[in-house]
Amino acid sequence: MHNYLQEKYGLFIDGSWVDAHRKETFKVINPSTGEELCCCAEASREDVDKAVQAAWKAFQSYKKTSPVERSALLHRIADAMTAQVDKLAMVECLDTGKLYKEAKSDILFAADFYRYCAGAIMTYEGKASVINDTTMSLILREPIGVVGQIVPWNVPFVVGAWKLGPALAVGCTTVVKPSRYASLGMLEFMRCIEDIVPAGVINIVTGSGSRCGQYLLEHPGLRKLSFTGSTEVGRVVGEAAARKIIPVTLELGGKSVNIIFPDSDRDKVKSGLRAFLVNAAQVCSAGSRLFLHEEIYDEILAMAVDLFNSIKVGLPWEEESQMGALCYKGHFEKVMNYVALGLAEGARLACGGTRVTENGLDKGNFMRPTILADVTNEMRVAREEIFGPVLVVIKFRDEEEVIRMANDNSYGLSGAVYTRDLNRAIRVARGVETGRMWINAYGDISTTGVIFGGCKESGIGREGHWLSFDHYTQIKSIVINLAK
Ligand code: NAD
């Protein structure tokens, strides 16, 4: 399996693979087995500076390319990653503990988004307006320049596409920093497209957040920051952008609601509950607060427990596995601690709650899908993002109460409501303070081209849609004197 990987990965700067200036590296650990997979370069301030300079050099010619040329480039990227999807999926699976089939679906989703950007850029236009008989103004959307893009470990291909697709479409060049817990996907993706992309247009620096990430934030040469990750680090990124007076997109954490009414379609509810466990529930938009109406509390809880108990936790590259490993040891321990915290707060363990060690899983970060029942909205397990396979279940009496409880949380990323009453569905969807609401689905239907992003402490800005082209461009107005 390991012949999919290089022994050592460098940084990708100005179209070439290079060692880190200070020759420092970090080890990459397979979260399913605990073994060392390879090592990656730990970028220093000098490396980040070289990457930003390379991106500026490339910008001078890339900004002049036509939408047709950039559209063709995005199509070639999508085709290349689709052609190598099996290899890329295996690398992602080894690196992150995500199921091979889930990694494959992330990569194909990302490829579709590059195609979406390829199409959308062909119709992206400025404006012209007639001010009066002798004055006219043109409104141009110009690429903003070199951007810094910081990616988390949970869905690097998807988040990478949501950032790279729009930047490349409008004519920006970029320095990308993946998470040190999931750098290999981005690095192998770059190896797969390196002959297609002009030198310096995409530069990749790897390393820790507190060093490599921080150097990127502090670099004076960036014209925009785009960050996806935790709310805690999002604040640091927002402050860095404020100091530089540059725009910032922040896609942050969530504690999203999944609201089930008695008249809901049970098959759809079950499908949405199953979707919660995709990527071992390490998904920012996961419906991690399950609100059940009091009339169906016992019935749906029993359904969820049966479903969770039936999930086969296993090595992520094995076909029959239904849930893989958590991405790294420190995160695994954090999630397990939340189970203990929930029990101490008075929640009831309805299923799971333990590590999985049998069948050769003892060295990996495997845990059973877990449900904490009888949770109240005030408990920390209901308020804080756990970011793992721990579902908390809360009872509600009526529509007003559930909307109030849904909104009594600092996050506002996603959510769903299940009911056959369309008016109620729309009322609840409108009432919940969140960037996205699903009706009668939750992450279990395709969303390519559907806008995504959060409100409150879940972030600022939107991705996954051509509207984010606006975040990578700036407006210039040209005013013309038409007088004779
Ligand atoms: P994280 O905030 O720890 O790290 C995210 C990225 O920031 C990583 O590349 C990391 O190396 C870097 N980083 C860390 N400290 C930094 C610093 N001081 N300066 C610059 N960069 C720094 O988040 P994570 O653990 O990688 O990802 C999980 C979080 O991401 C969860 O909160 C999840 O909800 C969120 N997320 C949000 C979305 C969304 O679209 N809203 C999508 C995926 C994940």
The reported pLDDT for the residue numbered 3 is 78
The residues with which 478 forms a beta bridge, in sequence order, are: 138
Beta-sheet strands, E only, within 166-260: 173-177, 202-204, 224-228, 248-251, 257-260
* Tokens coding 255: 């504690």
Residue 125 near residue 174, CB atoms below 8 Å: no
The residues, any chain, with a CB within 8 Å of residue 318's CB and separated by 6 or more, are: none
CA triplet 276, 257, 435: central angle to 5 degrees? 100
Distance CA 42, CA 29 (A): 15
Residue 335 Cβ < 6 Å to ligand 1? no
- As annotated, the active-site residues are 251, 284
Closest ligand 1 atom to 181 CA: 26
The residues with which 29 forms a beta bridge, in sequence order, are: 36
Closest ligand 1 atom to 216 CA: 20
Low-confidence ranges of the chain (pLDDT < 50): none
The reported pLDDT for the residue numbered 209 is 98
The reported pLDDT for the residue numbered 444 is 84
Every domain of the chain and the residues it spans: 2-252+461-477, 257-448
- Helix (H/G/I), strand (E/B), else coil: 381: helix
Phi and psi torsions of 135, nearest 5°: -135, 135
Cα of 436 vs centre of ligand 1, distance in Å, is 20
The topology under which CATH files domain 257-448 is Aldehyde Dehydrogenase; Chain A, domain 2 (3.40.309)
Cα of 285 vs centre of ligand 1, distance in Å, is 14
Distance CA 368, CA 352 (A): 5
DSSP 126-164: -EEEEEETTEEEEEEEEE--EEEEE--SSSHHHHHHHHH
Cβ atoms within 10 Å, residue 67: 17
What DSSP state is assigned to residue 70? H
The reported pLDDT for the residue numbered 484 is 92
Closest ligand 1 atom to 231 CA: 32
Q: Which of 222, 284, 385, 460 to mutate to test the pocket of ligand 1 (most atoms within 8 A of CB)?
A: 284
The reported pLDDT for the residue numbered 482 is 96
Tell which CATH architecture fits domain 2-252+461-477.
3-Layer(aba) Sandwich (3.40)
Cα of 222 vs centre of ligand 1, distance in Å, is 19
* Tokens coding 380: 């920390």
Distance CA 365, CA 34 (A): 8
Cα of 162 vs centre of ligand 1, distance in Å, is 15
Cβ atoms within 10 Å, residue 426: 13
Residue 5 near residue 38, CB atoms below 8 Å: yes
The amino acid at residue 15 is G
